């Protein structure tokens, strides 16, 4: 038997309660003396004289014994005694097995936490009776039913064995909702009304405190004792604005263990080591006695993180890998990947009946660009406008010309709009007043919007997912809308009035127009972040462009296996089986669309110390020691015994029975 309360609680209670009770039985009753005119009562008087002395010899007293037992039972109850016992299994049991990245951490015996969890799950299944049934759910950031409710042990064991390690983050909510949905009494499982949930995890579940156990009880089997880990938490690769052939890589590394760590970091280009840097010694994340209760925080401990920066000349596309030296419990966060895009100049097209201000602004940013009349654009053949299923121009600027001829690409509209569903340019509103703008967005960076004035603008109607960058009393003035492989930057005003005889804004006379055009062209063409294809987290799908006419592409996964992904008629292919970190190589037929990177870069998963302070928002939960035994509380039985002793004491007192 064990006690959950600190040792000083029962000791203090015993010191305060037991001595006073015993002392009361040493004292004698003090009686008032009264003269009596009879010698017949002398014998009784002598007896009373003896009784009225301050103290007497303690005699056997049943009431004292009962009262001592009551106090001892109360002291034992507040000590919260528990006994380890075999886990009871209800008729319906749901095994929730964590397969997230941190469950891939290796323990001292060489087994991963997922392997340990699967072994414990096998033991639980083996204890099932013939009238009991179980269900298996595996989860990371998504949950999956591996086996519905059944009492077929071979089927349950096969479902457990089929659970694969993933590199994704861990979230409990979806798994719990899925478990309770399947536990609802419907159809064949009508007798399943209240389930027993057994959660096998290391406890690193960021959303656990928002999870509710609506029916049944949850037992938590915490897996894992390893604590030492150093991981990469961010990787950013960019090309220099002025010198696109130069790239820079910025990497952030953190120590999540209990001991100082020394590492160096290597930069690999297309699999070849190009540079190595020593990192300063990283301080521990937390103390050994507190690490298992520590929560991930964005503010790391002093000196527990370090930053490394690499710069090099790279005038072609390439794959980048950064790698930490040394070994720790979790290997997947020791590497991070990036797909570097080749440097390229922006190819732009201006579609306008004539606008010297736009020509000057674009010419200040680009050495050369094409200018077409609106009629020329509409009549141009597809081979002049489309290549590999995309617009041959990185950016097309429309001046007062709305169109539906919009092959996949990037478009900037002035006093015009794409002719697509849910987008309408609207009526002209005179003298709008600018109210708000997002100067943190790359398009408006260093643009002084406050000094800009408009004589008129349109009142556009846009879908709810359009991002408003500048807002006026008339509505959105500058908006960003994304549709499939198209980006639309919509300005609801023109630089000229309707007759194109007078200016409609003072923007052409400020440097703000040139700065806006510089930002817009770079953002739409991808140059604001050019340097790497955006990476995705494990479990997230990515979409790539494919050569027209392609129906299926081949995907080579990081483990060397190959997979297939279907391509749509619009020239897009989406792949979602990204459960492992690394580079995914794709046969798309389009340069620059042949690889994607999947990275963990999740500090909450890199903190691998098992969370012994795991809590859920509401519901009955029981902490499981190991996985075979559960701490059964004994205090309800002790309180029941205390009540029985009180009843006996009351009977004895009322009958005045003494021994």
Instruction: Read off the pLDDT of residues 275-301 as tens digits, 9 standing for 90 and up.
Output: 999 999 999 988 888 888 776 665 666
Q: Tokens 């009526």 belong to which residue? A: 427
DSSP string, 275-318: EEEEPPPBPPSS-TTTGGG----SSPPTT-EEEEEEEEE--S-E
What pLDDT sits at residue 345?
77
Instruction: Read off the pLDDT of residues 83-93 as tens digits, 9 standing for 90 and up.
Output: 655 555 556 78
Segments in 511-655 forming alpha helices (H): 511-525, 603-606, 635-655
Q: How does the average pLDDT of the chain come out, rounded?
A: 84
What pLDDT sits at residue 271?
92
Average pLDDT (509-533) is: 81
Residue 47 has pLDDT above 90, yes or no: no
Instruction: Read off the pLDDT of residues 405-460 as tens digits, 9 standing for 90 and up.
Output: 999 899 999 999 999 999 999 999 999 999 999 988 989 988 999 989 999 999 99
Instruction: Read off the pLDDT of residues 600-659 as tens digits, 9 standing for 90 and up.
Output: 999 889 999 998 888 887 665 665 544 444 455 666 777 777 677 777 776 766 665 444
Q: Tokens 């930057």 belong to which residue? A: 489
Spatial contact of 133 and 149, defined as CB atoms under 8 Å apart: yes
Confidence of residue 571 (pLDDT cuts 50, 70, 90): confident
Average pLDDT (132-155) is: 93
Average pLDDT (495-523) is: 88
DSSP 334: G
Q: Where are the beta strands (DSSP E) in 484-591?
A: 486-491, 542-545, 552-556, 562-566, 572-575, 582-586
What pLDDT sits at residue 226?
93
Strand order in the sheet with 434-437: 370-372, 348-351, 395-399, 410-414, 486-491, 475-483, 467-472, 434-437
Point out which residues pair with 612 in neighbouring strands: none
> Positive or negative CA dihedral for 281, 286, 289, 294?
negative
Distance (Å) of CA 588 to CA 221, 536, 585, 641: 45, 18, 9, 75
Percentage of the chain exceeding pLDDT 90: 52
Distance CA 600, CA 586 (A): 20
H/E element holding 359? helix 356-365
Average pLDDT (186-210) is: 74
Q: Could you count the other beta carbons within 10 Å of the beta carbon of residue 305?
A: 21
Residue 206 has pLDDT above 50, yes or no: yes
What pLDDT sits at residue 32?
59
Distance CA 565, CA 580 (A): 17
Average pLDDT (248-260) is: 94
Q: Tokens 């991981």 belong to which residue? A: 231
Average pLDDT (59-76) is: 70
Lowest mean pLDDT among 66-80, 314-328, 484-498, 621-635: 621-635
What pLDDT sits at residue 138?
97
Instruction: Read off the pLDDT of residues 161-171 as tens digits, 9 standing for 90 and up.
Output: 999 999 999 99
> Positive or negative CA dihedral for 261, 264, 270, 272?
negative
What pLDDT sits at residue 485?
81
Residue 190 has pLDDT above 50, yes or no: no
Dihedral (Cα; 501, 502, 505, 510), 10-degree rounding:
100
Dihedral (Cα; 575, 577, 578, 582), 10-degree rounding:
-90
Confidence of residue 1 (pLDDT cuts 50, 70, 90): low
Task: Please indicate whether residue 545 or residue 202 has the higher confidence score (pLDDT).
Answer: 202
How do the residues of the chain divide into helix, strand and coil, expressed in percent and rounded to 5? 25, 30, 45
Distance (Å) of CA 310 to CA 270, 316, 658: 15, 17, 91
Average pLDDT (42-46) is: 57
Distance CA 157, CA 167 (A): 23
Say if strands 486-491 and 475-483 run parallel, antiparallel, or are unpaired.
Answer: antiparallel
> How buried is 628 (Cβ within 10 angstroms: 0-12 exposed, 13-18 middle, 19+ buried)?
middle
Q: What is the pTM for the complete model shown?
A: 0.68
Confidence of residue 55 (pLDDT cuts 50, 70, 90): very low
Spatial contact of 468 and 479, defined as CB atoms under 8 Å apart: yes
Residue 362 has pLDDT above 90, yes or no: yes
Q: Report the range out of 3-7, 141-145, 218-222 with the highest average pLDDT.
A: 141-145
What pLDDT sits at residue 90?
54
Residue 377 has pLDDT above 90, yes or no: yes
Residue 191 has pLDDT above 60, yes or no: no
């Amino acid at each position: 038997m064990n006690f959950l309360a600190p040792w000083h609680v029962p000791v203090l209670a015993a010191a305060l309660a037991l001595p006073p009770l015993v002392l009361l039985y040493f004292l004698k009753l003090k009686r008032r003396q009264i003269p009596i005119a009879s010698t017949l009562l002398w014998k009784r008087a002598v007896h009373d004289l003896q009784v009225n002395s301050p103290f007497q010899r303690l005699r056997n007293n049943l009431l004292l014994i009962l009262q001592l037992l009551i106090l001892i039972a109360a002291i034992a109850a507040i000590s919260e005694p528990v006994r380890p016992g075999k886990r009871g299994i209800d008729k319906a049991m749901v095994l929730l097995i964590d397969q997230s990245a941190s469950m891939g951490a290796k323990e001292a015996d060489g087994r991963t936490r997922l392997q340990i969890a699967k072994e414990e799950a096998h033991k639980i299944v083996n204890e099932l009776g013939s009238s009991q049934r179980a269900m298996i759910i595996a989860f990371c950031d998504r949950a999956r039913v591996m086996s519905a409710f059944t009492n077929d042990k071979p089927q349950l064991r096969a479902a457990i064995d089929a659970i694969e390690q993933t590199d994704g983050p861990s979230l409990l909510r979806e798994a719990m909702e899925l478990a309770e949905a399947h536990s609802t009494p419907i159809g064949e499982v009508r007798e399943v009304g209240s389930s027993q949930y057994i959660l096998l995890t290391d406890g690193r579940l960021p959303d656990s405190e928002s999870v509710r156990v609506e029916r049944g009880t949850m037992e938590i089997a915490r897996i894992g004792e390893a604590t030492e880990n150093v991981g990469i938490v961010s990787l950013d690769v960019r090309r220099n604005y002025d010198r696109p052939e130069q790239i820079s890589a910025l990497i952030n590394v953190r120590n999540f263990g209990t001991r100082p760590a020394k590492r160096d970091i290597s930069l690999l280009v297309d699999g070849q080591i190009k540079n190595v840097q020593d990192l300063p010694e990283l301080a521990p994340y937390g103390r050994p006695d507190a690490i298992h209760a520590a929560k991930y925080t964005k503010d790391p401990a002093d000196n527990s993180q370090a930053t490394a920066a690499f710069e090099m000349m790279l005038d072609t596309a390439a794959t980048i890998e950064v790698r930490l030296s040394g070994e720790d419990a979790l290997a997947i966060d020791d590497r991070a990947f990036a797909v570097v895009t080749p440097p390229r100049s922006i190819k732009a097209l201006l579609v306008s009946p004539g606008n010297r201000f736009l020509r000057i602004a674009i010419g200040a940013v680009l050495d050369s660009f094409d200018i077409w009349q609106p009629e020329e654009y509409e009549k141009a053949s597809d081979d002049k406008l489309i290549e590999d299923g995309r617009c041959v121009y990185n950016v097309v600027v429309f001046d007062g010309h709305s169109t539906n001829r919009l092959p996949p690409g990037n478009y900037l509209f002035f006093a015009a709009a794409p002719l697509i569903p849910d987008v309408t340019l609207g009526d002209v509103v005179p003298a709008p007043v600018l109210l708000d703008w997002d100067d943190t967005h790359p398009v408006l960076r260093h643009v002084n919007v406050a000094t800009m004035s408009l004589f008129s603008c349109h009142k556009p109607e846009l879908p709810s997912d359009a991002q408003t960058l500048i807002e006026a009393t008339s509505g959105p003035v500058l908006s960003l809308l994304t549709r499939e492989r198209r980006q639309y930057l919509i300005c609801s005003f023109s630089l000229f009035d309707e007759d194109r005889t007078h200016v409609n804004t003072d923007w052409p006379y400020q440097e703000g127009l040139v700065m806006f055009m510089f930002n817009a062209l770079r953002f739409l063409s991808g140059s604001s972040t050019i340097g790497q294809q955006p990476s995705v987290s494990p479990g997230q799908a990515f979409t790539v462009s494919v050569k027209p006419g392609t129906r299926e592409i081949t995907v080579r996964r990081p483990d060397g296996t190959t997979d297939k992904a279907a391509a749509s008629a619009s020239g897009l292919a989406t792949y979602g089986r990204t459960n492992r970190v690394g580079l995914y190589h794709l046969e798309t037929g389009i340069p620059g669309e042949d690889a994607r990177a999947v990275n963990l870069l999740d500090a909450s998963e890199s903190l691998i110390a098992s969370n012994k302070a795991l809590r859920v928002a509401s519901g009955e939960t029981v902490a499981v020691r190991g996985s075979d035994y559960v701490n059964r509380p004994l205090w309800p039985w002790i309180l029941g015994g205390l009540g029985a002793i009180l009843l006996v004491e009351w009977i004895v007192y009322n009958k005045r029975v003494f021994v």
